[in-house]
DNA sequence: GCCTGTGAAGCTATTCACAGCT
DNA sequence: AGCTGTGAATAGCTTCACAGGC
């Protein structure tokens, strides 16, 4: 291993990545309330985990707290930013401007500068050409061109199920590196594309199931 | 244990419940295509799992296939229905009729009779009184009354983060048994209420993270 | 041969529990 | 006394691998 520091990412579990995202939002709230330090058991309380788990997650990103003051809120936010965010930010596109797509757009509009939806695509000509929640909407035909021009690396797939597979292929072909798939069937994508399936129907059926059995306890984080 | 057959539910993992929901949709598609039988390896292929896992999940619901013909599609659908669905169906309500809420409403409108959104609630008087995607919209004040009158057991929470905790409490107080929480912070609810957190922000940040590391492989099912 | 059902093994994630620090 | 960091133990989930059946 001749030159350069090997970045020690990739050996961190997906669960931990998810929790880091959660911790960061929590810490941002704490910082807004002018809270300077926080203990693992407090973070656990607020995020619904255990203190030991919080400490393990801190280990994963190599952040060290102090036994006296716990974790420094501002420092920890920076550490998580460094770990999670691409330095230049991540540029995403939305495919499928339906209700769900619009919900995602308006949710992210201007929120987190490092994670921006910079283009949307739809097959319906009534939607293309317009600007929705601050995001230009293009026809599907322009996908490859815009993805390349805008240096987009992540696609958010919110199209009807029957269109999902085809669109995933187009995204992969356009050089996208990750897909968030909201359609209710798992995608089979080329190995170099990371796919996260967010299956809302499944989640609701799960809730319905457990709501019926009185006795079962909370299951964390979708 | 004096009388009655003890229903052997509750000992099945949440992961399995989720996959069963997925299998059922897959099987419904197969049935529509007049396919009568299916092997575990085929189901695995189509759902992105392994054959061994499919067989384990069949064990969990006590369904037995035949070594010769594999699983009978129609029978298996019935078995999964029996296992997952409440006999009288599950009546849900939506709290928060924004973009996301409407997306969920239109997605479920008339789709699955055993899982119906029968009421919606919003604090905005412009939305209340109307019928959206076939679903009557009430003011928040009517929540407890309507939940009781309509025998609603599941709440779908799609309100802005700052309102989420309060609404969760109202749902719990109204006697709801399960909550699907779409707000970007985990809920702390009374132990008898099952909570499933569906954290879209977290999912997108996860995709962004893995999209940056080229090399990491797919992680199944949110 | 090719399937299912399943005990046993293997993995991964979480929790325990304690040394070390202040 | 009360915290962090972490090896060791535990729990939970998935895969292996093979017996049994046609």
Cβ–Cβ below 8 Å for B10 and A213: yes
B52 CB and strand D closer than 7 A: yes
Q: Which residue has tokens 């029957």?
A: A162
B24 CA, D9 C1': separation in Å? 38
Query: How does DSSP assign B173-212, residue by residue?
Result: HTT--EEEE-SSS-----TTSEEEE--HHHHHHHHHHHHH
Tokens found for residue A172: 């992969």
pTM for this model (two decimals) = 0.90
pLDDT level of residue A8 (50, 70, 90 thresholds): very low
Nearest to A180 by CA among B21, B118, B174, B206: B206
Tokens found for residue A167: 């669109």
Q: Which residues in A lie closer than 8 A to residue B215 (C-beta atoms)?
A: 10
Per-residue pLDDT of chain B (222 residues; tens, 9 = 90+): 333 233 334 689 999 999 999 999 999 999 999 999 999 999 999 999 999 999 999 999 999 999 999 999 999 999 999 999 999 999 999 999 999 999 999 888 777 889 999 999 999 999 999 999 889 999 999 999 999 999 999 999 999 999 999 999 999 999 999 999 999 999 988 988 999 999 999 999 999 999 987 544 444 444
Interface test with B, best of A114, A208, A213 (most B CBs within 10 A): A208
How distant is the Cα of B21 from the closest Cα of chain A, in angstroms? Answer: 6
A135 CA, C13 C1': separation in Å? 39
Helix (H) or strand (E) holding B116: strand B115-122
Q: How far apart are CA A49 and CA A40, in angstroms?
A: 10
* A157 → chain B, closest CA residue: B204
Q: What is the rounded end-to-end Cα distance, in angstroms, of chain A?
A: 39
* A209 → chain B, closest CA residue: B84
Q: How far apart are CA B207 and CA A14, in angstroms?
A: 10
Tokens found for residue B145: 């009354």
Residue B61 three-state SS: helix
What residues contact residue A142 under an 8 Å CB cut-off, 6+ apart? A121
Cβ–Cβ below 8 Å for A177 and B86: no
Cβ–Cβ below 8 Å for A180 and B203: yes
Q: Which residues in A lie closer than 8 A to residue B18 (C-beta atoms)?
A: 199, 202-203, 205-206
Q: What is the rounded end-to-end Cα distance, in angstroms, of chain B?
A: 38
Determine contact, residues A74/A137, Cβ cutoff 8 Å.
Answer: no
Cβ–Cβ below 8 Å for B25 and A201: yes
Determine contact, residues A146/A93, Cβ cutoff 8 Å.
Answer: yes
- Judged against a pLDDT cut of 50, whether residue A107 lies above it is answered with yes
Within 13 A of A192's CA, how many CA atoms are on the CB side?
A: 10
Distances (CA, A) of A102 to A95, A170, A209: 10, 21, 29
pLDDT level of residue A10 (50, 70, 90 thresholds): low
pLDDT digits over A43-93, tens only? 999 999 999 999 999 999 999 999 999 999 999 999 999 999 999 999 999
A52 CA, C17 C1': separation in Å? 11
Tokens found for residue B191: 């132990």
Mean pLDDT of chain A: 90
What residues contact residue A154 under an 8 Å CB cut-off, 6+ apart? A90, A91, A92, A93, A176, A177, A178, A179, A180, B204, B207, B208, B211
């Amino acid at each position: 291993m001749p030159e350069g520091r090997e970045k020690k990412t990739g050996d961190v579990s997906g669960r931990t990545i998810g929790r880091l995202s959660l911790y960061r939002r929590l810490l941002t709230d704490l910082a807004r309330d002018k809270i300077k330090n926080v203990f693992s058991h407090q973070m656990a309380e607020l995020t619904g985990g255990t203190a030991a788990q919080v400490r393990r997650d801190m280990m994963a990103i190599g952040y060290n707290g102090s036994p006296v003051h716990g974790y420094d809120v501002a420092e920890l936010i920076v550490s998580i930013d460094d770990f999670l965010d691409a330095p230049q930010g991540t540029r995403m596109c939305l495919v499928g401007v339906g209700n769900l797509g619009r919900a995602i757009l308006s949710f992210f509009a201007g929120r987190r500068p490092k994670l921006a939806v910079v283009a949307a695509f739809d097959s319906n000509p009534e939607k293309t050409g317009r600007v929705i929640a601050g995001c230009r909407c293009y026809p599907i035909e322009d996908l490859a061109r815009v993805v390349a021009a805008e240096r987009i690396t992540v696609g958010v797939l919110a199209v009807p199920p029957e269109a999902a597979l085809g669109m995933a292929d187009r995204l992969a072909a356009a050089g996208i590196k990750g897909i968030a798939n909201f359609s209710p069937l798992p995608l089979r994508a080329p190995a170099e594309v990371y796919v996260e399936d967010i299956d809302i129907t499944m989640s609701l059926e799960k809730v319905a199931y457990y709501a019926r059995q009185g006795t079962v306890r909370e299951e964390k984080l979708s």
